């Protein structure tokens, strides 16, 4: 798999009354990690949005295996587990300081024309992005394992 690793310092404000990271923060961390992955691949959501395209989350899955508490540091490993010109699925593993997987998840995204909510094809609107993702997909299919 072609992946990125994004470090996150757990902030006190992200914890609940029990001192555990509140579950909704995992979705925020996934967004931070996904944006980092896209940046490391050479692209940005900001450029996409300037062109009038948005990429909303249409599905979110999170599995909690072990609690994370303040002031831990975690790493979010991110990769593309499915890609087509219409839909992308990003997968995530949250690793604790011992590099143990404490949570897993995925987000599914489509690209839409802003305002009309009409789906668009990434290969037509952003051919460079599509080509890069196709290359990543092909490398993953060949069993290549590397960090962006």
Written as one string, the DSSP assignment of 70-126 is: TT-EEEEEEEEEEE-SSEEEEEEEEE-TT--EEEEEEEEEE-EETTTTEE--HHHH-
In whole angstroms, how large is the CA radius of gyration of the chain? 16
Q: Is 119 helix (H, G, I), strand (E, B) or coil?
A: strand
* Average pLDDT, integer, range 107-117: 92
pLDDT at residue 74 greater than cutoff 90: yes
Residue 94 gets the label, from left (phi > 0), alpha (psi -120 to 50) or beta, of beta
C-alpha 48/C-alpha 44 separation (Å) is 7
pLDDT at residue 116 greater than cutoff 90: no
Look over the chain and give the mean of its residue pLDDT values, rounded to a whole number: 95
CB within 8 Å of 110: residues ≥ 6 apart: 55, 56, 58, 86, 87, 119
Active site residues per annotation: 16
Beta sheet of 112-113, edge-to-edge order? 53-54, 112-113, 118-119
Token code pair at residue 23: 């579950």
C-alpha 82/C-alpha 99 separation (Å) is 24
Quote the Cα angle for 6-12-16, to 5°. 105
Q: What pLDDT, on a 0 to 100 scale, did the predictor assign at position 21? A: 96
Q: How far is CA 106 from the centre of its chain?
A: 7
Tell me the fold of 2-147.
Answer: Thiol Ester Dehydrase; Chain A (3.10.129)
User: What is the percent of the chain with per-residue pLDDT over 70, rounded to a whole number?
Assistant: 100
- Whether 125 and 118 have beta carbons less than 8 Å apart is answered as no
pLDDT band at 94 (very low <50, low <70, confident <90, very high): very high
pLDDT digits (tens, 9 = 90+) for 26-57: 999 999 999 999 999 999 989 999 989 999 99
Note the pTM of the prediction, 2 decimals: 0.94
Domain boundaries, given as residue ranges, for the chain:
2-147
Among 4-8, 37-41, 101-105, 118-122, the range scoring the smallest mean pLDDT is: 118-122
pLDDT band at 117 (very low <50, low <70, confident <90, very high): confident
């Amino acid at each position: 798999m072609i992946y990125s690793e994004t470090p996150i310092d757990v902030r006190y404000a992200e914890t609940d009354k029990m001192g555990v990271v509140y579950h909704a923060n995992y979705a925020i961390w996934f967004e931070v990690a996904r944006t980092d992955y896209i940046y490391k691949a050479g692209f940005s959501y900001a450029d996409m949005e300037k062109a009038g395209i948005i990429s909303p989350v249409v599905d979110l899955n999170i599995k909690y295996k072990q609690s994370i508490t303040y002031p831990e540091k975690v790493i979010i490993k991110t990769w593309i587990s499915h890609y087509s010109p219409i839909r992308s699925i990003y997968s995530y593993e949250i690793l604790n300081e011992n590099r143990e997987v404490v949570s897993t998840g995925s987000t599914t995204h489509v690209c839409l024309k802003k305002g009309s909510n009409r789906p668009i094809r990434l290969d037509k609107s952003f051919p460079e992005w599509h080509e890069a993702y196709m290359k990543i997909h092909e490398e993953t299919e060949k069993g290549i394992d590397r960090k962006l």
